[in-house]
Each structure stands twice: as C-alpha cells, then as structure tokens.
Structure 1
Amino acid sequence: MPEPVETIGERLQSSFDALTRAERQLANAILENYPVSGLGSITTLAANAKVSTPTVVRMVRKLGFPGFPQFQAALRRELEAKITNPIAKHDTWAENAPDGHILNRFTEAVIDNIHQTLAQIDPASFDAACALLADPKRTVFVAGGRITRALADYFYMHLQMIRRGVTSIESRSNSWPHSLLDMQAGDVLVIFDNRRYENSTIKLAELAREQGVKIILFTDQWRSPVSRCADLCFSSRIVVPSAWDSSVVIMLLLETMIAEVQKQTWDGTRERIEALEEVFDRTRFFRKFN
C-alpha cells in the first residue's frame, strides 16, 4: 500500500498553533508515544490526555478525518509502514512502480522528501541546535545505530575538525556505558535513530537525559521513541522507491548544520584546520601534485 504523503504527527505539528488549549494537550499526549498512543479507544485516549471525548472528535476532524475510526485506520497504516522490513518495502514499491527511469523516479521522491521535511522544520529549533553544538563549554557526543552509524560517523568527522570536545560513541551497547560516565549536565548528545528503532539507543537517551544531557535527535517522519527524551528533534522524510530508506534529507540537514556551526566558530575552527593541514603535510598523508 502506498505510504501517506503526510503523517498524522506532521499534521499535528503543522496545525499546533491553530488548536485550542485542550486540543494541544491532546496533541502532546498523542505525540508522546506516537503512533501507538492513538490506537486505544476514544475514551482511553481522552482519559490519558485529560480531555473530553468531544475534544478528541473535534481535533480529529480538524486533521481532516470524518471520525475517530478513520483517524485510527490511518494510524494503523503508519504503524505498519513504521515496522516494515526491507523485503516488504520492496514488494510494495514494485507493485506500484510508476513508469519512467529509476533515476527520475528516485530523484523526484527525494525532492518531495526535501520539500515536505523543510516545511516542518522550525528555524528556531535549528538555530538552537547549532548554538548548542558551537558552545565550547559543552562536550558533544555522537551516536548512531546499525544503519545510521554512517550518518553519525560523517557528522562526528566534520564536527571534530571544527571544534574540540567531540566524542564518537560506538554503536555496540556494551561500550556506550563508558561514554555515559563522561557525560555531564549541559553536554550535548546527538542521536541518529530511524525506523526499526534500536533498544540500546533508546536506553542511552534515557540515561543521558537523567544526567541532564541535552539531546538532539535526527529521526524519520514517524519519530523514534527517543523523541520523548529529546530537547530538539528533527524528523526527515525517508521514503523512496527502494527496499531501503533514504538518508538524503538527513544528510542535507547535517551539512547545513555543519556549515552554520563552522560559521559561528570560524576563528577557532580556522586555527584548528590550519594545524590539521600542517600535520597532514608533515606526515605526507595526502598525495600532492606540484
């Protein structure tokens, strides 16, 4: 089945300012453990959010659904997409593959992902994340999972060239407790976690949060459970005509963030890069063409 153009979570976030106080309370309750939180009965959802059942009905209609059953049906489809494995994703794509070359179809999907993601990004939250990462008084820790490890490594490599005090946390769950010992209140933990969310990553976030660490999360449109612990959460669209998800939009956010942090710390960054280049020259690390 085709994946939805816009998730209910994204609709809630984009329409948040137009909701009443009670509806905002309900929206926060749904997003807290999204999308599972909305799959119980209407009375259970209302009770958990401490609102009335008519409030649930009104907000569901504001989101474009005729009633609560249709709202839940959409949530179930999202949950199915959230836990789908690569083989099932490929089969779904193959059955619905449009005409045209894969280069065009894939690129169109990526461009659509970029547009939809940027429409949801709060510039103030983006600026706040850059300010945390540029603060020399804060140590930055970077963690990824089985697939998102590559994104974490890329971000770590660039950030540690820009500033001191950046640590890469190994993805093996038996190694990150050692990094947890070094985290202090006010430090920053950057986490990458996409669907098929990893239990060890969630536990790392929970323990770091208890220590007063600021958490920046990069996740997908369904939002990792880590979002419950995160101070700042950036959700990217990742669906493309492939058995695997796309990292293009997340990479766009990362490179933009790297550019902004570099700008804010340029004086120190320049000295650091010059020193690094001197080391490269002395060790003949790179081949030079003279």
Structure 2
Amino acid sequence: MGSKPLVRDLLKEKQAELTASERRLSAVLLEDSMVTGLQSITRLAEVAEVSTPTVIRLARKLGFDGYPDLQDAIRVELAERMKRPLAKLEAARDDARDHIVSRFVEAVSENINRTLDRLDLARFDTVAELLSDPARRLHLLGGRITRSNAHYFFNHLQIIRPHVLLMDSSPSVWPQSLLDMDDRSVLIVFDIRRYERELEKLARLAVGQGAEIVLFTDAWGSPIEKYAAHTFRAMVEVPSSWDSTLAINFVVEALVADIQSRSSGQSADRIAALENMLGASRIFRGN
C-alpha cells in the first residue's frame, strides 16, 4: 500500500464535499468496515438506497477512475487489515539481505516517524487533559496482543492519579465493569489487526452507558473507531510474523509524561505516599 491514503480516510476527509446521497453511501461503506464495497455496483447502490451513478460519482470524488478502481483499493486495504501472521513471515523471509536486527530497527524507526507525522497534536492535548482529570474514572483493556500495552499504561496512570482500573481479560466479567461506567468514565482500548469482536461489543455497550472511548489502533483502524471519541493510529508493520506495538507505546509514554506534568502536585503526593507504604510494609520487601 505504501503511503497511499486509505479509502476510509478519504471518505472521512471528503465529507464536506459530498452530496446527501453520497454521504449516505459513504456511511454504509464505513459502517461495515468497507466490506460492502466488495459487492457489485448494483448491489451496493441498493444497500445504500442510492443510484449507480452516485456510486460512480463518489469513486471519482475520492480520486479513483471509477468504481472498479475504488474496489481494487478496498480489496488491498482489507487484505492488509486481515493479513495473517504466516503470510507476514513469508514476506519477511523474502527480504533477507540484511540482518534481522537492522531491518527491524529500520522498520520501527519508520513506524514511529510515520506515526508522528499523522499524530494530531490538538487531539493529543485533549486526551491528555481528559485523562488527567481526577473526576474521571479510567478503565483500560487490550486485546490478545495489546494486553501488555494496556498493562503498561495502567501501571503508570495508577501511580499518577486515582480511579484507574485495569479490566479483566475475560469477557465473562466485563458486565461488572460496565455497571460502574457512566458519563464520568473513560474506556481506554487497544485493538490492532486482527481486530477482536468482543472488544467492539464492549465499546458499544460502554458508549451506551455514557462512557467516552479513547482508542489506540493500527494504520487501518479498528471497527471500534465508530464508537471512539478519540483515536490514535500507529504504524505496526515490521519484518516479523507479528505486528509491532512500539509506535503505540511511544504515544502512550508521551501521554504519561504530559498527564504527569498536568497532575504534578497530585502525582507527587501519590508517589510520596506509595514510597511510605513500601517502606512501612516489609511484606513488599520480601523480609
């Protein structure tokens, strides 16, 4: 895919230029994570309740020659989103000219630079302010691969401020957490390809409870985006059978630094209290 814009991003960027029928068609494509765009032009027009010329006009407004050209771009985008670990491993083996460490460093550096290029600093500031508000209750959760990112963020936030909860990895106990969510709650979710349907369901229910969602995802965007108030996309591809979350953690660590700065008095008191507890409780010292 290189650096070509994603179809889903083009649809969002062009909203102000679209007619009412084109916006309806755009909404259908975005709602189903672009999968609807793989159908015939006639079927897509029926589903969106628009004319076939509307489909063609939308494709051209997005910069494509026509609907077949748009479909090709959607196929590539979906293939990248659903790429399996074994396929990625074979692709990595094809490029064995340099040592894996050199290639990995190059890929990670590129991921961080491209993530920074796309980072909305105003959104970053808004989220830092949101997460530093002690009146907000923060709930964190990651998927199978990103669970460690959620743990890492939780460990830091818990020291900086109160009311931070790490949700259990088992969906069977999520209803208990949902019970405590309201309009003062923030659900921080990590979800990269292959996206987890359980997390999407949780996000939908959390929004229903009034919670605000902060999403960390990959370049293609988790389906949770449609529920998220704030989304951070990071580049994840490396010469490995697994995606890398180092660029995601870069954003997380920058947020930790900003949140601590905004909560300096509160966090200093909490750290001092924690040190006192560690000093007074020999059980934590193992003697």
Same fold (TM over 0.5): yes
SS of corresponding position for 1:243: coil
The aligned counterpart of 1:57 is 56
SS of corresponding position for 2:224: helix
Residues 143 and 191 in structure 2, CA contact (< 8 A), matched pair in contact too: yes
The aligned counterpart of 1:78 is 77
Whether 1:233 and 2:219 are equivalent positions in the alignment is no
Residues 183 and 208 in structure 1, CA contact (< 8 A), matched pair in contact too: yes
Residues 142 and 148 in structure 2, CA contact (< 8 A), matched pair in contact too: yes
SS of corresponding position for 2:136: coil
* Cα distance, 1:286 vs structure 2: 6.7
1 CA distance for matches of 2:111 and 2:48? Answer: 31
Amino acid in structure 1 at the alignment position of 2:31: E
* Cα distance, 1:4 vs structure 2: 4.1
* Cα distance, 1:21 vs structure 2: 5.3
Tell me which stretches of 4 or more aligned residues in structure 1 moved more than 6 Å.
Answer: none
Whether 1:33 and 2:16 are equivalent positions in the alignment is no
Match of 1:222 among 213, 220, 223: 220
2 CA distance for matches of 1:276 and 1:204? Answer: 32
2 CA distance for matches of 1:177 and 1:143? Answer: 14
CA distance 1:50–1:261, shift in 2 (3 Å): farther
2 CA distance for matches of 1:214 and 1:202? Answer: 14
Whether 1:101 and 2:99 are equivalent positions in the alignment is yes
Farther-moved stretch of structure 1 (144-153 vs 277-286):
277-286
* Cα distance, 1:150 vs structure 2: 0.3
Q: Structure 1 stretches of 5 or more lacking a match?
A: none
* Cα distance, 1:172 vs structure 2: 0.7
TM normalised by structure 2 equals 0.87
The aligned counterpart of 1:170 is 168
Q: Name the Cα RMSD after superposition.
A: 2.5
1 CA distance for matches of 2:216 and 2:115? Answer: 12
Residues 34 and 223 in structure 1, CA contact (< 8 A), matched pair in contact too: no
Match of 1:152 among 142, 150, 153: 150
Amino acid in structure 1 at the alignment position of 2:30: L
SS of corresponding position for 1:239: coil
2 CA distance for matches of 1:270 and 1:263? Answer: 10
Match of 1:275 among 257, 273, 276: 273
CA distance 1:162–1:44, shift in 2 (3 Å): farther
SS of corresponding position for 2:243: coil
Whether 1:117 and 2:109 are equivalent positions in the alignment is no
CA distance 1:281–1:157, shift in 2 (3 Å): same
Amino acid in structure 1 at the alignment position of 2:126: A
2 CA distance for matches of 1:254 and 1:40? Answer: 38
Residues 221 and 238 in structure 1, CA contact (< 8 A), matched pair in contact too: yes
SS of corresponding position for 2:221: coil
CA distance 1:120–1:52, shift in 2 (3 Å): farther
1 CA distance for matches of 2:236 and 2:42? Answer: 33
TM normalised by structure 1 equals 0.86
Amino acid in structure 2 at the alignment position of 1:91: E
SS of corresponding position for 1:174: helix
Amino acid in structure 2 at the alignment position of 1:135: D
Amino acid in structure 1 at the alignment position of 2:154: Y
Farther-moved stretch of structure 1 (124-133 vs 16-25):
16-25
Whether 1:91 and 2:90 are equivalent positions in the alignment is yes
The aligned counterpart of 1:130 is 128
Cα deviation 1:182-218 (Å, max 9, x = unaligned): 1122310001111122222111111111111101111
2 CA distance for matches of 1:9 and 1:116? Answer: 18
Residues 14 and 62 in structure 2, CA contact (< 8 A), matched pair in contact too: no
Residues 143 and 192 in structure 1, CA contact (< 8 A), matched pair in contact too: yes
* Cα distance, 1:251 vs structure 2: 0.5
Residues 185 and 212 in structure 1, CA contact (< 8 A), matched pair in contact too: yes
2 CA distance for matches of 1:142 and 1:46? Answer: 40
Cα deviation 1:68-122 (Å, max 9, x = unaligned): 2122112112222222221121112323x16323223222222222233233332
* Cα distance, 1:27 vs structure 2: 4.4
* Cα distance, 1:151 vs structure 2: 0.5
Q: How many residues align?
A: 283
The aligned counterpart of 2:182 is 184
Match of 1:197 among 192, 195, 198: 195
Farther-moved stretch of structure 1 (111-120 vs 164-173):
111-120
Cα deviation 1:240-272 (Å, max 9, x = unaligned): 111000101110111111111111111111111
Farther-moved stretch of structure 1 (234-243 vs 157-166):
234-243
2 CA distance for matches of 1:199 and 1:231? Answer: 19
